[in-house]
Amino acid sequence: MIDLISRTSVGDWKYVAEGGSTIVFSYDGHPYPVLTGKVLRLRKIALKTSDVSAPAAALPVGNFDDPTIAFQQTVIHRLVPEDFLPQLHVVKVDKEWLRLLAEVVEPSRPEARRVVDRIDLDMETAVLADNLIGGSDLAVEIKPKWGFLPCPDHLSSATRPIKTRTCRFCMHAHLKGAAEEDVPSNFCPLDLYSGDEHRVGLALRALWDAWVRTDGGINNLRVFAKGRILKPSSDVALLGSLLTSTATPNLALDELRAQFVEALLPTLLATPVFHLLSFRQRTLDPLDIEGLAALWARIYAHDQSSAPLAFGEHAVEPTLEEWASFVDAYLARCQAYAGSHKGGPVAQHTELRYYCLAYLLSATFKDCSIILRFGSAGQVDERAHKGQQNASPLAAQAEVKIIDLDIKSIKRLTKWEKTDKEIVDAYVRVEAPRTCVDALAGVHVA
């Protein structure tokens, strides 16, 4: 285990970004083989311990094993090819060093984050990972979200026509759009997942438009150049120099949009990552949260050993050993049913536990991000020879990695069910509902 971090200056670590459970810093100190080109991921804790959006409790995996590493090795590595995952290493961290870093970084954190959580100062380990946004000319982060329509078998007659027509993201965007401006309302994830050039282009243009409108404020699309996050209002020239030939005059944002889409399309159409994510999400969530809650209610309504429990009540966080057994069972079911879900679940506690863990893991895949890393083209782009004036200086294909595959807390089941009801209740009043096309239904991933 690397025991070096606490000997570096906190000034060597630059704030990059943060999500619901972790905060990320990039190393910017003197060249050092172990640290150069790396980022440090630190766990966060909620300021209020009752916050159900907090990450799952640490898995009992030893004094210095990080739960993120343990979950990756035990669960994620069995479900995602290694080529699509960043390299992760456990490192020791000192409490006093963490306190100093937290003090320095606090002014750089978004206000919305500062009021809900902070760096966990009691942790003894952290995660050192490849810096996927640094060291390349251009890096693009996309959060693709839900890539499937639910199976109708376990939906109520009231929700079935709604949920099987409009995808979860589009319905949720409608609900949030009235109050939030950073929602890419024209973006449908199923377009991005489709593998169809026209539809993927539509998705990219919708993400770009929302990125411009919010000045980079959406979390579904982030653009980086040499490790620095770009904003449309201030970095048009830099982005233009990356997307077009150096001889081309600065382009307007609308023209840059076409170059952006052209640069990303070949990789997004070629990568198997979207098929994989959609398959994992779909097969880990065969019941929908609605069907899962109904199964819970059926079991506890007839359980004579205890009083009926509300959905998610007293649910215990899974151990690492339980996760390992779950993956065995899940992979066996995938092989037996070729990715489809036949019939209904058996009303047994063991079956309920399986579907609860499956839904947690599905949520992990629904909330992950992908990073596209573009290097400089090693030779003159072929498009330049074909007379295209704005040939990109970037390599034609980008490296693709999946990030933020973190464990979710089982305490969030209740909140997820409540949110699902709010989304559907709001969308049922839409006069012209959106029709989302699930092109990957029935597609099996080995």
Of 373, 377, 372, 378, give the one whose Cα is nearest residue 395. Answer: 377
What domains appear along the chain, each with residue ranges and CATH number?
5-131 (3.30.200.110), 133-446 (no CATH)
* pLDDT, averaged across the chain: 87
Q: What pLDDT was estimated at residue 101? A: 96
Query: What secondary structure does DSSP assign to 42-65, as a single string?
Result: EEEEESSTT-TTSPPPPP---SS-
| Cα 265 → chain centroid | 20
Is 148's pLDDT higher than 90?
yes
**Which two tokens mark 316?**
């215990």
Residue 289 contacts residue 420 (beta carbons within 8 Å):
yes
Question: Which stretches of 272-348 are DSSP H helices?
Answer: 273-284, 288-301, 320-337
What's the rounded Cα separation, in Å, for the pair 112 and 182? 13
Q: What pLDDT was estimated at residue 179? A: 52
Of 326, 369, 440, 349, give the one whose Cα is nearest residue 143. Answer: 369
Task: Please state which of the ranges 5-9, 137-141, 242-246 shows the lowest mean pLDDT.
Answer: 242-246
Is 307's pLDDT higher than 80?
no
Q: What pLDDT was estimated at residue 389? A: 46
Is 377's pLDDT higher than 90?
no
Q: What pLDDT was estimated at residue 50? A: 55
Is 90's pLDDT higher than 60?
yes
**Which two tokens mark 77?**
């590595």
Is 385's pLDDT higher than 50?
no
Strand pairing report for 117-119 and 38-46: antiparallel
pLDDT in tens, 122-136: 988 899 999 998 877
**Which two tokens mark 172?**
């949720």
pLDDT in tens, 157-178: 999 999 999 999 999 999 987 5
pLDDT in tens, 335-359: 876 545 556 677 789 999 999 999 9
DSSP type of residue 234? T
Strand pairing report for 221-225 and 13-18: unpaired
Of 59, 47, 52, 175, give the one whose Cα is nearest residue 121. Answer: 47
φ/ψ (deg, to 5) at 45: -130, 150
What's the rounded Cα separation, in Å, for the pair 437 and 416? 24
Residue 200 contacts residue 191 (beta carbons within 8 Å):
yes
φ/ψ (deg, to 5) at 404: 60, 40
Is 248's pLDDT higher than 70?
no
Q: What is the mean pLDDT of residues 100-111?
A: 93
Higher local confidence (pLDDT), 108 or 376: 108
- Residues 74-103 as b or e (16 or more Cβ within 10 Å = b): bbbeebbeeebbbebebbebeeebbeebbe
Is 75's pLDDT higher than 50?
yes
Question: Band of the pLDDT at 375, cuts 50, 70, 90?
Answer: confident
Residue 10 contacts residue 28 (beta carbons within 8 Å):
no
Q: What is the mean pLDDT of residues 286-294?
A: 97
**Which two tokens mark 204?**
């990219």
Longest CA–CA span in the chain (Å) reads 77
